[in-house]
Amino acid sequence: MSANEVPTVRFGPLEHRGVLLGLGLGQLLVLALALVIALVEIYSAGVPGLVAGAPAWVPLAALATVTVRGRPLLTWLPLVGSWQVRSRTGATTLVAAPVLLAPTELTLPGIAGAVSVTAAPTLGAALVLDRRAGTVTAVARVHGAGFVLDDAAAQEHKVGGWGRVLSAACQAPHVVRMQVLARTVAGGSAAARSWWQRNAATSASFAGRVVAELLDDVTATARRPEAFVAVALRIPRGSARRLTAAAVQSLEQDLTAISDGLRSAELTVDRWVDVGDLGAVLRTTYDPVGARDAIAPAPPSRGDDARPAGSTLLGAMGAREHWSHLRTDSGTHATYWVAQWPRSEVHPAFLQPLLVSTTATRTVSVIAEPVPTAQALREIRRAKVEHAADATRRVRIGQVEDEATRAEVAELARREAELVAGHGDLRFTGLITVTAATLDELEVACTATEGAAAQALCEVRRLVGQQAVAHAAAALPLARGVL
């Protein structure tokens, strides 16, 4: 490789494994039931009996073999059933009661139970404790010096640094998952408007009023980027009910090591998000219009960002989940899942079309979950055995092996070789949340997002029937687990 070339990125294909010929255990059981019914009809009444029993065995056979939107029809039944139950019981609607003081526990849409928030005494970071998931999450506000306009050597250095961060996460026993979240929020010229409000003359002239109106208009429409790195750590032993001082100290040591790793990857850690800033981040997610209108005229105390005035630890005041979107205080959201990463080798900046947008408000999250080496090797070897058994069955019935199967086998061999060589294994998940003010604007923004995903060579699918859970994992920097 020459000095002017950057190492490309290659992703493995989406695995579609099953017990027999790509069919899962549930599909095989339903298909076997359909075959039993068909055979009973044939032996009892011949061909007329088979035709008469078609209303019984044909739907079962279709349920086991037909796919809808890339998923077997059988797997849609639990999703549709859960949605119907939640819709009829009112679980898709959340209304928060007004509070006088900022609570220490939050009930957020899509997160089962309440999460508690405390502050780390040394770092000042907000620690989000989720007892159900068994994790403690801290969020770092970061920014980089750029990547696309760097030369090849600088890009290669940054890619290698980020690889070392992920490798360290694989070796750290306490790290459950890491999330990189990039989003655009309103208030791109908030700093200029704040400066004008502080320094403008008391008796505004005609020109001053014009400038103030222009700044207000630009602030309402301009967007600024934000980036966060969230780290979910396992709750230390003995801290199931509350975090002890020793547990907090251990967590702070882990966060300090992660912060040093991020800096070695040439990511500037502005600060660990504290409790007040966490409230601003959450409110911006659920109430983008209110957060835009509440830009503080006072200068920000730290960093170069402007946060909403009077930030308190509050979640959504109201939320209603629909089949294909989520409605919160002043935003309408739709979340997509990256079902297939680029199939060919791509530049490390292949997500640029999704990250840069002038027409749609997007939140792009990439979640990396370390997989223990022993578990990863067991999964790979089990998959290789399944592929070998399927190959034998295909030979017996005369079925030709397709290229997709060969690509999966080659990817399994590559992953196993890397694990044996000492590398870690990570399970990546990509989620994209599109936000707009109204449902009509949301559909326009979703169309633009699907086009941007095609430019990034990614295949995305809109998550239906689970938008609240998907939004919590995609739009909130809390390193949530995926469905």
Is 398 in the same domain as 309?
yes
Same domain flag for 461 and 322: yes
In degrees, rounded to 5, the angle at the alpha carbon of residue 188 between the alpha carbons of residues 182 and 192 is: 145
Q: Which uninterrupted H or E stretch holds 95?
A: strand 93-95
End of a domain among 75, 91, 107? Answer: 91
Based on the domain organization, do 54 and 172 belong to the same domain?
no
Residues 66 and 129 occupy one common structural domain? no
Instruction: Say if residue 167 is exposed, middle or buried (CB neighbours under 10 Å; 0-12, 13-18, 19+).
Output: middle
**Phi then psi dihedrals of residue 481, to 5 deg:** -75, 150
Which residue in the block uniquely carries the two structure tokens 């469905």?
483
- The total of other beta-carbon atoms located within 10 Å of residue 461's CB is 14
Residues 397 and 447 placed together within one structural domain of the fold: yes
Q: How far apart are CA 433 and CA 161, in angstroms?
A: 27
Q: What is the pLDDT along the chain (483 residues), one digit of tens a residue?
A: 455 566 777 777 776 666 666 677 778 888 888 888 888 888 888 778 788 888 888 888 888 888 887 778 888 888 888 999 999 988 888 887 666 555 678 888 988 888 888 888 888 888 998 888 888 999 999 988 778 778 888 888 888 888 888 888 888 888 899 999 999 876 655 556 666 666 665 556 766 666 666 666 655 556 678 899 999 998 877 665 667 777 888 888 888 888 888 888 888 888 899 888 888 899 889 988 876 655 443 334 444 444 444 456 778 888 999 999 999 988 999 999 998 898 888 888 899 899 887 677 899 999 999 988 888 888 888 888 888 887 887 788 777 777 777 888 888 888 888 888 888 888 899 999 999 989 999 999 999 999 999 999 999 999 999 999 999 999 999 998 775
Q: Are residues 168 and 21 in the same domain?
A: no
Nearest to 367 by CA among 431, 422, 281, 414: 431
Whether 157 and 76 map to the same domain: the answer is no
Is this prediction's pTM over 0.75? yes
Q: Are residues 52 and 119 in the same domain?
A: no
| Residues spanned by the domain of 136 | 92-187+222-475
Q: Could you tell me if 148 and 352 are in contact, meaning their C-beta atoms sit under 8 angstroms apart?
A: yes
Q: What is the DSSP letter of 289?
A: H
208 within a domain of the structure (yes/no): no
Q: Kindly report the CA angle at 226 between 127 and 462, in degrees rounded to 5?
A: 90
Do 21 and 45 belong to one domain? yes
Tokens of 214: 């222009």
Determine the longest span between alpha carbons in the chain, in angstroms. 97
> Do residues 100 and 80 share a domain?
no
Count of domains forming the chain: 2
The neighbouring-strand residues paired with 333 are: 326, 435
Q: Are residues 136 and 78 in the same domain?
A: no
Single out the residue in 53, 72, 91 at which a domain terminates.
91
The 3-state DSSP class for residue 416 equals: helix
* Domain-terminating residue out of 91, 123, 153: 91
Candidates 182, 140, 128; CA nearest to 270 is: 140
Residue at 199 is within a domain: no
334, containing H or E segment? strand 332-340
Same-domain check for residues 251 and 325: yes
